[in-house]
Amino acid sequence: MRNPFAHAASPKRELRQPERSTTPEFASVEIAAMYRGARVGGDFFDFLTVGSSRLLFLLMDVAGARDEALDIAAAVQDSFRASSPRLFNPDVSDGLNDADLLTELLLELNQTVIRHAGGVHCAPAFLGCYEEELGMLYYVNAGHPPALLDDSMRLSRLEADGLPLGLFSHGTYDAHLCVLEPGDALLLASKGLIEVKVKSEEFGIERLKQSFRAAPRQHARQLCAAVLADVDEFRKDQPFQNDMTALALVRNCDEFLKCLAAEAESLRTPSRWPRGHCAGYRVMLASAPQTPSSPALRTDEK
């Protein structure tokens, strides 16, 4: 007999998965990501080119059952791809700088997580914007494991200073800025990679640092592959319990040397000064003493 007080079951929503990311091509930088799935959790990454000189990238770890987590990630991807061109459009950005725009984008992604999950849902994320003309990297770390930046002089941690997405509808975030010089590399690793365990011992941040320092970095994908290989060597035959993702951004040395040669030639002929992503080095070269010992002219010094 039918219970008259029973509510009709609401139809289940069809769960989606994010679309495959397309790796963009830039003259001065390479980006890549490599992923190992354990069929649990929801690691998600995406790349997007905005205009002619901006590269946006996102790495997120959505908590919960895999299918539901990936469904939320698909909604975030929709928002990321729709909102980024609108926000970074110079005709409608109201004079905001890249840091403000990146923060605004993250706030929209936060709202997307809460709305699509139907409430609170933890999603640590790292959102970055690389501006090619001057090599500037704006980033927000929202509860994600620290990114590692190797600038050939030191290895720095880009720590989280905000809560994961999906926890508060009015969360606040601040974007930070660093400059990627030629040869510099940025490495992001998901929580599942860092927390790979053998018995009670984790792979951990310190091993990740060692792997990063030792890895070849001529290409971003090569760097990701080396890190994942070190994780595999650490865990031996132990199955991994969570998704693992490595994402790398590598500033191209060869492109810098081409720019340097072009800028040196242009200084001899001012009317031929080039425009574009070498502009920052023009200032450096013009103000540097023209002697063999000038740091601005020595490309072999660390």
Q: What is the rounded end-to-end Cα distance, in angstroms, of the chain?
A: 81
Q: What is the mean pLDDT of residues 131-135?
A: 91
Over residues 14-19, mean pLDDT = 89
Residue 45 pairs with which residues in a beta bridge? 59
How distant, in Å, are the alpha carbons of 5, 13, 209 from that of 8? 10, 15, 54
pTM of the model: 0.80
- Which residues, in sequence order, are CB contacts of 75 under 8 Å at separation 6+? 16, 112, 113, 115, 116
- Name the least confident of 77-91, 121-135, 156-170, 234-248: 234-248
Cross-strand pairs, 155: 150
Structure-token match 């990701």, residue found: 224
CA-based radius of gyration for the chain:
22
What does the pLDDT read at residue 265?
Answer: 61
Give dist(CA 61, CA 132) in Å, integer. Answer: 27
- C-alpha torsion sign, points 256, 262, 268, 271: negative
Bridge partners, residue 47, by sequence:
57
Q: What is the pLDDT of residues 71-96, one digit of tens each?
A: 999 999 999 999 999 999 877 766 67
What is the pLDDT confidence band of residue 225, given thresholds at 50, 70 and 90?
Answer: very high
From residue 54, give the alpha-carbon distance in Å to each of 89, 102, 132, 216: 11, 12, 6, 25
DSSP state at residue 270? G
Cβ atoms of 148 and 157 closer than 8 Å: yes
Domains, the chain, with CATH or none? 29-251 (3.60.40.10), 254-302 (no CATH)
pLDDT tens digit sequence for 258-299: 555 555 666 665 544 444 444 444 333 333 333 333 333 223
Whether the CB-CB separation of 109 and 75 falls below 8 Å is answered with no
